[in-house]
Structure 1
Amino acid sequence: MPLPSLLLGVLPSAPLALGTALAPVAGLVLSGLLVGSTPETGTATAARSPADGIAARSGSTVPRDPAPARGTWPLAPVPSIARPFDPPEQRWSAGHRGADLVGRPGQPVRTALAGTVSYVGRIAGRGIVTVDHGRVRTTYQPVAAVVRRGDEVAEGQVIGRLLLAGSHCAPVACLHWGLIRGDTYLDPLTLVGAVPQPVRLYPW
């Protein structure tokens, strides 16, 4: 059986002295042929998760795997996104630290994941509910809360009603939905697999 052309390239043209070991060389080359290597680099191709694909396509530097599981949209039916997450370059810089979902006044607002209500109150005149999910917290505003601090809530449970007053999208009502891990703001749309993809223009 003829040797592969790649292997022929590493064999010497002159006869070898008795006892010269070819096995290590041949073994290394053949192992490169048998494993799943990429033509450009010759390195093994690692399995990639869907989350890796999203981050690679979007060029986002936002940490991946922001939450323990996929969650539920806080508004039903699935709402339009008035303004997506736009993280600031620096923690103190301007940006959009959440996603604005178009709704209607009085619409039920649901928690995206099961957890414990950790805050109910008003900040800058807006009614806010925060739910602690362990690794992360979600925030909802402006809402009229129907839960209290310390309440245990199931995924999809109604925690309040959407208000027009304090809307980021006035004169239209919209829910400002946030996702936080520690003191880092993350994209809440990752909880429902709805991260918008940028439009790319190709030269052909």
Structure 2
Amino acid sequence: MHRTLLWLLATAALAGSAGPPARTAMPAPPPAVGEAARTGGRPWPVPGTPVVVRTWNPPATPYGPGHRGVDLAAPPGTEIRAVAAGRVTFAGPVAGTGVLTITLDGSGSPPLRTTYEPVRALVRVGERVAAGQLVATVETEEAAPAHCKEEGCLHWGLKRGEVYLNPLALVRGGHARLLPVWGV
């Protein structure tokens, strides 16, 4: 319970303001999967220094407008790696677009789920994957979201139950610590 609360607080702190869609380089990402494992961080789903094509903008209501993930610049054929260890719980088309969902190990109840699209999955439902493992490749431009058609991108999402979260919290985060407040 306490770990889940701390994680939610860290996610909320990292979410910041949604603001308009932006194209910005992420600060100091791990340069390689091996380096991420060595430093205790999580690998990014795309290689190199990811560029955010569109930011996370959570909807105000369940069916309201917004952007329920982030888009990372990734041309067709880009290798996609699992951000954390887990089990593949979906791999297939949704409305003609290839989608991969991985339910993350040890992430509480309900567990966290990451989604990647548009992709061609290289893993199957039920398969266990390790952090940094190659799991998919970005599909052709025809399957890309409209705002990514020219350059290509990976839409990367994160959910706990029915609640959308900012997936950048998985790679940008540190550990949130609550300090005692004396005299309260």
Larger strand proportion, structure 1 or 2? 2
Alignment of 1:84-103 (within 5 A): 84-103=55-74
**2:169 is aligned with 1:190:** yes
Pick aligned residue for 1:160 from 115, 119, 136:
136
Q: Which has the larger radius of gyration?
A: 1
Pick aligned residue for 2:97 from 118, 126, 131:
126
Q: Which structure 1 residue ranges, 5 or more long, are not aligned? A: 1-48, 61-68, 195-204
Alignment of 1:1-204 (within 5 A): 55=13, 58=16, 71-134=42-105, 135-163=111-139, 164-168=141-145, 169-193=148-172
1:126, 1:165 within 8 Å by CA — same for their partners in 2? no
Q: Which is bigger in relative contact order (C-alpha 8 A, separation at least 6)?
A: 2
* Residue 108 of structure 1, CA deviation: 0.5
TM-score in terms of structure 1 length: 0.62
2:81, 2:134 within 8 Å by CA — same for their partners in 1? yes
Q: How big is each residue's C-alpha offset from its partner over 1:142-173, in whole Å with a ceiling of 9 and x where there is no partner?
A: 00111100010000111111112321211221
Aligned equivalents of 1:185, 1:72: Cα separation in 2: 21
Aligned residue pairs total 138
- What amino acid is aligned across from residue 165 of structure 2 in structure 1? L
Q: Which structure 2 residue ranges, 5 or more long, are not aligned? A: 1-6, 19-39, 106-110, 174-184
Of all paired residues, the percent bearing the same amino acid is: 39
Aligned equivalents of 1:157, 1:151: Cα separation in 2: 12
CA RMSD of aligned residues (A): 2.6
Aligned equivalents of 1:56, 1:73: Cα separation in 2: 16
